[in-house]
Chains A and B, each alone.
Chain A
Amino acid sequence: MEALKMENITKIYPNGFVANKGITFSVQQGEIHALVGENGAGKTTLMKVLFGMEQPQEGAIYVNEKKVKISSPLEAIELGVGMVHQHFMLLPSMTVAQNVTLGMEPRKNGLVDTQKAVQITQEMSDKYRFGLDATARVGDLSVGLMQKVEILKALIRGAKVLILDEPTAVLTPQETRELFEQLKLLRTEGHSVIFISHKLEEVMELCDNVTVLRHGYCNGTHPISELDAAGISRLMVGRDVVLKIEKEDPKPGKPILEVRNLTRTNAEGKKTLNDVSFTIHEGEVLGIAGVEGNGQSDLSDSISGMVSYDSGTVKLNGKDLKGMKIVDIRSAGMSVIPEDRMTVGCVNDLSVQDNAIADRFDKKENMNGIFLDKKKAKSITDALIKEFEISCDSQDEAIRFLSGGNIQKVVVAREFTSGANFVVANQPTRGVDVGTAEMIRKYLVRQTREKGIGSLLISADLNEILEVSDRLLVMRQGRIVAAFPKANVVDVDELGEYMLGIRTMTAQEMEGVL
């Protein structure tokens, strides 16, 4: 029986971004169904629609072959759809039982019947062999167990269809194996599971069918038995339109950035960078490809001084950056186009001018003695607006009134003209219009070639990373797992296999390319 069907779902966000276009897929009762796709392929949006967090413009949802309307998560829960979010919705100071029964606490004499809550939680946990202690404080649990609590929360509310959004991203291999056993148990009990993942070996091991999304479209549903990992990878990773950027071969000069054995553990105790080493020379763009969340952000933040790291060195123009203030790192030659332009890259309420000169207003040549030089600021900004074709009514208007593309142009303009000879460009064209994206890419290449700067390009956009980069590295789980000397001749299918963990290069294979 079809436990769930989503038919012809189209979701367009208010800013015009088409996240889902005519997607149809269905889940049988008692199956584990994989939903795979690159970042931005539309998986999360589709699941938000299913869970009532977003309303689609078109399409219908059927639960148990009955057409339903789901306008809030509560309604989804009522219909037997449960979701385990990537970021847990848990209360660390409370016990497992309290978390599981929150909002539906059993009561006795007006008070919460703690014993009963513990009892039903424990029974449920034992039934599915979750191995939880219902009286333990959630904050004391391992991440793996917290995830069990989330699953239990959904099950106790009668979830028949369980959505797991990249559940293994936070788990150790042992925990993953355990989870799989439990999911299989759920399957035999007649539950359906929608398993969202990037890890193809897991999909192959666990799932019955796989639905592939690409760029908002559905690329078909296939029984796992008919596909191998490389086949799925080809369906997921692909270039719809091949982008071409004219550029000559790089003539790398002396090294600018040297990263050696960089290792970092994040606040959650996870190793996000594991012994990362590479060098970037004058006049070349080094690309880093990888599924998002594999340490790219931490790499960019560690290099630019935004976060500290456990061990290893980062040298810029021969200077060890460890412990340096960001202002000094910048004057040592660093510029950064951050991943999140709205919270890191600019100040929404300040003017275009203020944002454009935020890194250089107190340089001696831009000051008028002890005062800010407004005229200079204006002429600098005017030049940037002209060169980067930033469209704004006036440079005094608040930057938040600009379009996303124009805001990014301001950020790019500032960072490329800061006088630095090295730039970290982290997702520089995400969410900007095609024209601006192309301009930013061309500019990055031109600056690198003509001015001899070194660039580190981090991007989830394969078109971009293959065309713009000279050399290409692939990051996975905090490590460099592949290195290619020439990015534009890399085969997309092969790249996908490295990104998704199907293949890994040995140190010997990568030697000389890092």
Chain B
Amino acid sequence: MEVRVQNVRKEFDRFPALHDVSLDIRSGELIALLGPSGSGKTTLLRLIAGLEMPTAGRIFFGDTDASEKTVQERNIGFVFQHYALFRHMTILENISFGLKVRPRATRPPAGEIRRRALELLDLVQLAGLEKRYPNQLSGGQRQRVALARALAIEPAVLLLDEPFGALDAQVRRELRKWLREIHDRTGHTTVFVTHDQEEALELSDRLCVMSQGRIEQVGTPDDVYDHPTSPFVFGFIGESSELPVTVQNNEVWLGGRPLGLPAGDSQPGKARLFFRPHDVELVQADAALTGAVNTARRVGGTRRVELTISGANQPVEVDLPFDHPATENAALTFRPRRWKLFPAA
């Protein structure tokens, strides 16, 4: 089911949580709402679910206007960060809850409910645990049950609020892969909220980056990573280094020296230069960035070096091969391979 969010605004006690947000979610895609805390991503998810009502704007499920519909009428599957499993019910009872509370006319027979619940338990790889209670399961298992419970009602849209937020790193990576598999198998339109950019980049078909109640950028992971459209997105997605520069004669200058970087169609004047620490090359040239090594740390397969750049008063980070002999105060000359200029605010 495709979901259209149209000019939605949400205020809590006159404090705006979302300003005029519009977003088209395609049928069958897995889309991530990514942003720091307070960016409005969870509010947007809860608005789609019908757990909150918008102050203004509309939300469409397919062609029908869902804005006025209650959460029950929207037929969504919602997975909570802290699972929200019913602790007094067994796993099987938890999964069949959504079918059991249906009015008699649309409720499947008891045997059918049980069969479907067991099938879902199998899908989330927890077959055999149907008689257990939630507190007898690990966090990862509980979240799988929560997903099975949400899928049981055959939802039009699957909504997940920081589904892996309460789990440890190892389980998180496993579940990420597993969620992707489930999505590919069941084909539900899925929206999930996360503050973990790695999770969003790895898992989603498209991601929607949010900040301070606004959507900053929507695109595929590659698109957002390679072509960020705002300083916020550049800084938030992936590692980034920033330098205050000036654009003059179609070139980028720092401290009265050209850096050997063409400015393209950027306007002359003060600007902010962004690049990825791992996307730099060491060069032998005058027109380049030079800096003295402050600290050098071995991070996995690379050596992360913090440099004081001549002409700038803020340090930047670059990644070098781990066997590079970067010692303290050693001078390095480099250029970013790819970079992006934004006008200074």
Do the two shown chains form a genuine complex with each other? no
By a beta-carbon cutoff of 8 Å, the part of chain B in contact with chain A is none
